[in-house]
C-alpha cells in the first residue's frame, strides 16, 4: 500500500512542475548550444547549468526536455524541504525562482525576507517579495535585468493565483 502523504506530495510536485515549467520555458527560451548568461554562467537548453555543460557541445530537444524536467523537480523538492506543504501555485512560483536563481530566495531565512515569510506561513507576503529578486551580477555589479523583472512578475502573479 502506498504512503498517502508521499503520494499527495508527489502529486503536488508534479502539478507544480507543470506550472513552473510554463513559467520557465518562455522565460529561458531554448538554446541547443551552450552560451554564457548575463551573469557569466555557462548555460544550455532552457537554463540548465552545471559541470555537465561543455562549450560547443550541441544538445537535442529531447535532452533539453529531460534536463528541464530533472532540474525543475530538484528545485521543487528544495522548496518542499524548506517550506513543506505549500499550495501548488506557491510551490510552482518559488520552484521556478529556485530553478532560476538558487535556493536562497525560498530557503535562507537569514538572507531572504521571502524565505522568512514562507516559513511563517505568510504566503501572500512571501509571493509579493519575488519581484525584489530581479538582479544579477554583470561584470561584478549587481544589475537589474528586464528578463528577471518580467519573470519575477509572472512568478508573483502565479503565486498569488492571478495568472496561468
Residue 4 has pLDDT above 60, yes or no: no
Q: DSSP class of residue 83?
A: S
Give tens-digit pLDDT for 45-68. 999 999 999 999 999 999 999 999
Q: How many structural domains is the chain composed of?
A: 1
Of residues 101, 127, 110, 33, the one with CA closest to residue 118: 127
Which CATH number characterizes residue 75's domain? Answer: 1.10.530.40
Instruction: Output 78 or 8, whichever has higher pLDDT.
Output: 78
Domain of 133 in residue numbering reads as 4-160
Q: What is the pLDDT of residues 79-136, one digit of tens each?
A: 999 999 999 999 999 999 999 999 999 999 999 999 999 999 999 999 999 999 999 9
Residues with a known catalytic role: 28, 37
18 vs 8, residue with greater confidence: 18
> What does pTM read for this prediction?
0.93
CA distances from 138 to 30, 41, 141, 143, 148 (A): 21, 10, 5, 6, 13
Amino acid at each position: 500500500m502506498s504512503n498517502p502523504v508521499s503520494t499527495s506530495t508527489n502529486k503536488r510536485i508534479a502539478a507544480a512542475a507543470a506550472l513552473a515549467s510554463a513559467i520557465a520555458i518562455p522565460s529561458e527560451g531554448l538554446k541547443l548550444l551552450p552560451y554564457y548568461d548575463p551573469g557569466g554562467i555557462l548555460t544550455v537548453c532552457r537554463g540548465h547549468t552545471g559541470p555537465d555543460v561543455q562549450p560547443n557541445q550541441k544538445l537535442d530537444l529531447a535532452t533539453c526536455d529531460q534536463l528541464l524536467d530533472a532540474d525543475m523537480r530538484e528545485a521543487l523538492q528544495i522548496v518542499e524541504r524548506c517550506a513543506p506543504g505549500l499550495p501548488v501555485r506557491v510551490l510552482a512560483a518559488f520552484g521556478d525562482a529556485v530553478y532560476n536563481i538558487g535556493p536562497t530566495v525560498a530557503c535562507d531565512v537569514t538572507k531572504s525576507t521571502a524565505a522568512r515569510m514562507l516559513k511563517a506561513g505568510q504566503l501572500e507576503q512571501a509571493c509579493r517579495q519575488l519581484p525584489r529578486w530581479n538582479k544579477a551580477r554583470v561584470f561584478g555589479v549587481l544589475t537589474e535585468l528586464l528578463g528577471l523583472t518580467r519573470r519575477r512578475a509572472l512568478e508573483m502573479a502565479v503565486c498569488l493565483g492571478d495568472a496561468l
